Amino acid sequence: MPDTLIITNDSLGLAQAADILHAGGLVAVPTETVYGLAGDARNDRAVASIFAAKGRPRFNPLIVHLADLSEIRRYATLTPLARQLAQAFWPGPLTLVLPLRPDSGLSPLVTSGLDSVAIRLPADPIARALLSAFGGPIAAPSANPSGQISPVSAQHVLDGLNGRIDAVLDGGDCAVGLESTILDATSQTPRLLRAGGLAVEAIEGALGMRVEAAQSDKITAPGQLASHYAPRGRVRLDVTTPDAGDIWVGFGPCPGAKLSLSQAGDLTQAAARLFHTLHDADTLAGAGGTIAFAPVPETGLGRAINDRLRRAAAPR
């Protein structure tokens, strides 16, 4: 494939991106969480080429992105719990797993043959404009080669996938910077499948109940694999005193740190900068170096940040 086309964010560009999707092609699209690798969720060939472009080892289920709540009933059943969550948090960085409608028309590759489907209404205006221009359901995992760091800029997408996908729609940096929080909302008991860009505490506040983590069962998602988001070098966590030669990444006051997730110790800023910082640290440390992260508190978005850091540090 020739170089990946860089499409600018204007009405012509959106129409061009929608045309590529209609033709079964792949376009990387900005969302408020991370860039997604978008394809027509009804087109088996398009969905299969998403897996091929990423080099995903298995056919794990993908998230279906929609422009509007009214479209959901064509693909899934909106349970009472899901309705409540949708009202509180959509559009936004929350994905709900819902009962799949048997006549959804979605490619079975999108759902890995499960009888449930993950759905998200993104808040990012460019993602929403493309969804409207396309007029259908878009399947999109994060737009990075399998196992590598998620992209939060168009350049990150090109670094990983140039020549492997048709185009990237350049929408600048992602505002949230972490993948969506995923909840199983198939029953009235919400279960957390992945911590992400919406803090669990916010969900618990809206529902007035505790949200338990799901028991890991049949679904082994790439984001659930122990080693993921991996830079080339070694990663160490909870480092308050770095070794000489470490690329030390601070959180809060860390005198001498080369990089920082947030000098002010702000978790929202740290989330938005996490994947940028991992990319930058990877460049500085190289394959033989060590990236050492200062401790990040395990509350709010800190839970999702620590989840991604633990996977980046896991043995490969």
Distances in whole angstroms, Cα of residue 312 to Cα of each of 64, 227, 235, 289 = 26, 6, 7, 14
- Please choose, out of 28-36, 74-82, 232-240, 242-250, the segment that lies near ligand TXA by the rule CB under 6 A: 28-36
Binding mask 87-126 for ligand TXA (x = CB under 6 A): --------x-x-------------x--x-xxx-x------
H or E element, residue 27: strand 27-29
Output 114 or 206, the one with its CB closest to ligand TXA.
114
Token pair listed for 111 = 């759902």
The residue written with tokens 């995923």 in the block is 182
Q: Report helix, strand or coil for 123.
A: coil
Selected binder of ligand TXA within 14, 34, 67, 203 (CB under 6 A): 34
How far is the CA of 55 from the CAs of 48, 145, 208, 224, in angstroms? 11, 6, 41, 16
Q: Return the residues of window 157-216 that contact ligand TXA according to CB under 6 A.
A: 179-180, 182, 193-194
- x/- contact string, 225-254, with ligand TXA (CB under 6 A)? ------------------------------
Q: Which is nearer to ligand TXA, 138 or 247 (CB)?
A: 138
Site for ligand TXA in 281-300 (CB under 6 A): none
Question: Of 18, 62, 157, 158, which one interacts with ligand TXA (CB under 6 A)?
Answer: 62
142, 180, 262, 277: which one binds Mg ion (CB under 5 A): 142
Q: By C-beta, is 179 or 246 nearer to ligand TXA?
A: 179
Question: Binding to ligand TXA by residue 148, rule CB under 6 A?
Answer: no
Min CB(141)–Mg ion separation in Å? 5
Q: Which residue in the shown chain puts its C-beta closest to ligand TXA?
A: 221
Minimum distance from residue 251 beta carbon to Mg ion (Å): 23
Cβ partners under 8 Å of residue 288, min gap 6? 233
Distances (CA, A) of 75 to 70, 96, 101, 142: 11, 13, 5, 21
Torsion, CA 108, CA 106, CA 110, CA 46, rounded to 10: 100
Q: Which two tokens stand for residue 272?
A: 């938005």
The single residue listed with the structure tokens 């409608």 is 101
> Measured from the CB of residue 232, what is the shortest distance to ligand TXA in angstroms?
20
With contact defined as beta carbons under 8 Å apart, do 223 and 268 qualify? Answer: no
Stretch that binds Mg ion, among 74-82, 122-130, 139-147, 291-299 (CB under 5 A): 139-147
Number of residues counted as binding ligand TXA (CB under 6 A): 29
Neighbours of 132 (CB within 10 A): 12
Report d(CA 224, CA 216) in Å as an integer. 9
**For residue 102, is the peptide bond before it cis, meaning its omega torsion is within 30 degrees of 0?**
no
Q: Which is nearer to Mg ion, 142 or 277 (CB)?
A: 142
* Site for Mg ion, rule CB under 5 A: 142
* Site for ligand TXA, rule CB under 6 A: 31, 33-34, 36, 60-63, 95, 97, 111, 114, 116-118, 120, 140-142, 179-180, 182, 193-194, 219, 221-224
